[in-house]
């Protein structure tokens, strides 16, 4: 009985493509349970070290360092990273605006190829993500077991915030990253995606069909994920709603496309750069407002016949735009906040209007990996969400610093993605 069980498990490991772990299927003889579960074999025959981009302290450039090959534990998957998006949240960490354990590897929006599973990983997980499969990873990596995860509110996962965001580790309180030179631990912002390999809890992954490219699909894991969560769960958008998006960079411009996919009647893009507003039109905006030239709230009211929009989204995390967002919604409308701000940043609200006119101010962070990420993959696969038009720059691993610098100076129109082929 045990023999059959272990045989069928070992078959799951096999992949038609020749791979580093091929020896497992070539090893002949009756497979033993411990051979399958032994973590020691990871990427057997493959490299024993990798490179990753390390953040050391605020306002110091990332450096590329060598690491021991990370080892996944139970329920985790080792991924050969193919692409990693360049996001403002990383930048907040790099500028010291959001405190995070350091040194750490930043990058939290990835695609890649499955190369290994942690020992004792459930066979269901191995079946879903066999070696060689293409995957996309969400930046909120649900533990699957906390009180929020069991309710389906994986975007509030306790373990993710308590361990990853507060300590830079996975959910056993340990990082998977250790420097090759001295063995010292390096923390992980989400999965630490700006590295040649990364360890991701399987709950954060979805299979990427081969028809979708690695590079462009990376943005599904944060920019598009965040936009989808805001529209689906926070705004509970309905077809025919009017929507305004304040700040149309990577996440904001994804909001435009998701709003369109959900059937928004009017989509108003607000930004200070005409270039971004122009590309917003391509992504579904029916109206644009340049906040440097026009009064944002007046203009949104004018476009909506004096009412204000059903849903306004703030994607910048600034006190001024926070206020504009709350003022742009109609009575009973929803102001959804998705822009992270430096710690302790405050926003102002007209209290009486909020009370009398039943304004809803809703915070939204990411989305729910297991239920939402497969939907996003479908939207991209069917072309309902256009990935190509959102990714505006591709760069090499070694160019990551300059990509973050350009992001800092507002020079990236859509999203930049680092390729780690």
Any residues with CB less than 8 A from the CB of 15 and at least 6 apart, and which? 130, 131, 132
Q: Which is nearer to Zn ion, 44 or 156 (CB)?
A: 156
149 near Zn ion, rule: CB under 5 A: yes
222 near Zn ion, rule: CB under 5 A: yes
**How many residues line the site for Zn ion (CB under 5 A)?**
9
Q: Which is nearer to Zn ion, 300 or 391 (CB)?
A: 391
Out of 94, 110, 157, 416, name the contact with Zn ion by CB under 5 A: 157
- Report the C-alpha gap between 321 and 316 in whole angstroms: 7
Q: How near is the Cβ of 154 to Zn ion at its closest, in Å?
A: 6
DSSP notation for 45-89: TS-SEEEEEEE-STTS--EEEEEEPP---TTEEEEEEEEEEE-HH
Q: Which is nearer to Zn ion, 38 or 345 (CB)?
A: 345
Residues facing residue 313 across a β-bridge? 245, 336
Whether omega for the bond prior to residue 103 falls within 30 degrees of 0, making it cis, is yes
Q: Which is nearer to Zn ion, 10 or 203 (CB)?
A: 203
Residues 76-105 within binding reach of Zn ion (CB under 5 A): 87, 89
Any residues with CB less than 8 A from the CB of 355 and at least 6 apart, and which? none
Q: How near is the Cβ of 150 to Zn ion at its closest, in Å?
A: 8
Contact segment (CB under 5 A) with Zn ion among 54-62, 220-228, 263-271, 351-359 equals: 220-228
Q: Which is nearer to Zn ion, 143 or 270 (CB)?
A: 143
Pairing of strands 63-68, 360-363: unpaired
Per residue in 159-183, is it b (16+ CB within 10 Å) or e — as a string?
A: bbeebbbebbbbbeeebbbbbeeee
x-or-dash pattern for Zn ion, window 43-82, by CB under 5 A? ----------------------------------------
Q: Which is nearer to Zn ion, 206 or 268 (CB)?
A: 206
x-or-dash pattern for Zn ion, window 349-388, by CB under 5 A? ----------------------------------------
Structure tokens at 93: 């960490």
Q: How near is the Cβ of 98 to Zn ion at its closest, in Å?
A: 11
Helix residue spans in 329-398 (DSSP H) = 351-356, 369-381
Crossing angle for the helix pair 250-261 and 274-282, to the nearest 10 degrees: 30
Q: How near is the Cβ of 203 to Zn ion at its closest, in Å?
A: 8
Q: How near is the Cβ of 139 to Zn ion at its closest, in Å?
A: 6
Q: How near is the Cβ of 324 to Zn ion at its closest, in Å?
A: 23
Residue (of 131, 117, 129, 139) closest to 218 by Cα position: 139
Q: Which is nearer to Zn ion, 54 or 143 (CB)?
A: 143
Q: Which is nearer to Zn ion, 149 or 296 (CB)?
A: 149
Q: Which is nearer to Zn ion, 89 or 279 (CB)?
A: 89
Using CA atoms, how far residue 3 sits from 130, 154, 165, in Å, is 21, 37, 42
Q: How near is the Cβ of 314 to Zn ion at its closest, in Å?
A: 16
Sheet (strand 287-290) strand order: 287-290, 266-271, 242-246, 309-314, 329-337, 360-363
Q: How near is the Cβ of 1 to Zn ion at its closest, in Å?
A: 34
Contact segment (CB under 5 A) with Zn ion among 217-225, 255-263, 391-399, 401-409 equals: 217-225
Out of 146, 224, 243, 376, name the contact with Zn ion by CB under 5 A: 146
Q: Which is nearer to Zn ion, 141 or 379 (CB)?
A: 141
The 8-class DSSP code of residue 31 comes to: P
Contact segment (CB under 5 A) with Zn ion among 1-9, 54-62, 147-155, 180-188 equals: 147-155
HSE, CB side, 13 Å, CA atoms: give it for residue 300: 29
Q: How near is the Cβ of 100 to Zn ion at its closest, in Å?
A: 13
140 near Zn ion, rule: CB under 5 A: no
314 and 339 Cβ atoms separated by less than 8 Å:
yes
SS3 label, residue 261: helix
Residues 307-346 within binding reach of Zn ion (CB under 5 A): none
**Torsion angles phi and psi, residue 28, rounded to 5:** 60, -165
Q: Which is nearer to Zn ion, 43 or 79 (CB)?
A: 79
Give contact residues for Zn ion (rule: CB under 5 A): 87, 89, 142-143, 146, 149, 157, 159, 222
């Amino acid at each position: 009985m045990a023999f059959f069980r272990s045989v069928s498990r070992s078959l799951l490991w096999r992949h038609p493509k020749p791979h580093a772990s091929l020896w497992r299927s070539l090893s002949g003889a009756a497979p033993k349970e411990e051979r399958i579960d032994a973590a020691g074999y990871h990427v057997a025959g493959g490299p024993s070290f990798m490179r990753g981009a390390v953040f050391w302290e605020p306002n110091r450039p990332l450096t590329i360092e060598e690491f021991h090959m990370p080892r996944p534990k139970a329920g985790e998957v080792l991924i050969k990273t193919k692409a990693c998006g360049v996001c403002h949240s990383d930048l907040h960490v790099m500028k010291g605006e959001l405190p995070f354990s350091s040194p750490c590897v930043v990058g939290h929006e990835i695609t890649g190829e499955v190369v290994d599973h942690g020992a004792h990983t459930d066979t269901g997980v191995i079946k879903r993500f066999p070696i060689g499969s293409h995957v996309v990873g969400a930046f909120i990596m649900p533990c699957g077991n906390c009180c929020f995860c069991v309710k389906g509110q994986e975007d509030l996962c306790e373990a993710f915030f308590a361990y990853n965001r507060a300590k830079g580790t996975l959910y056993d309180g340990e990082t998977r990253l250790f420097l090759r030179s001295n063995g010292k631990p390096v923390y992980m912002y989400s999965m630490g995606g700006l590295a040649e390999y990364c360890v991701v809890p399987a709950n954060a992954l979805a299979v990427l069909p081969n028809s979708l490219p690695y590079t462009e699909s990376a943005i599904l894991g944060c920019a598009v994920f965040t936009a989808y969560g805001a529209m689906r769960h926070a705004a509970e958008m309905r077809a025919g709603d009017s929507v305004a998006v304040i700040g149309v960079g990577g996440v904001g411009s994804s909001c435009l496309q998701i709003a369109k996919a959900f059937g928004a009647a009017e989509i108003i893009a607000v930004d200070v750069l005409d270039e971004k507003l122009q590309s917003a039109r391509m992504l579904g905006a029916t109206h644009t407002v340049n906040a440097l030239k026009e009064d944002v709230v007046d203009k949104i009211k004018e476009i909506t016949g004096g009412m204000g929009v059903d849903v306004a989204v703030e994607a910048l995390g600034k006190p001024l735009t926070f206020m504009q967002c709350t003022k742009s919604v109609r009575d009973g409308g929803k102001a959804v906040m998705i822009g992270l701000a430096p710690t302790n940043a405050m926003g102002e609200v007209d209290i009486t209007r909020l009370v009398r006119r039943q304004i809803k101010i809703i915070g939204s962070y990411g989305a729910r990996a297991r239920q939402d990420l497969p939907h996003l993959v479908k939207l991209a696969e069917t072309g309902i969400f256009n990935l190509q038009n959102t990714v505006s720059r591709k760069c090499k691993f070694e160019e990551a610093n300059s990509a973050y610098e350009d992001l800092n100076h507002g020079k990236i129109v859509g999203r930049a993605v680092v390729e780690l082929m």
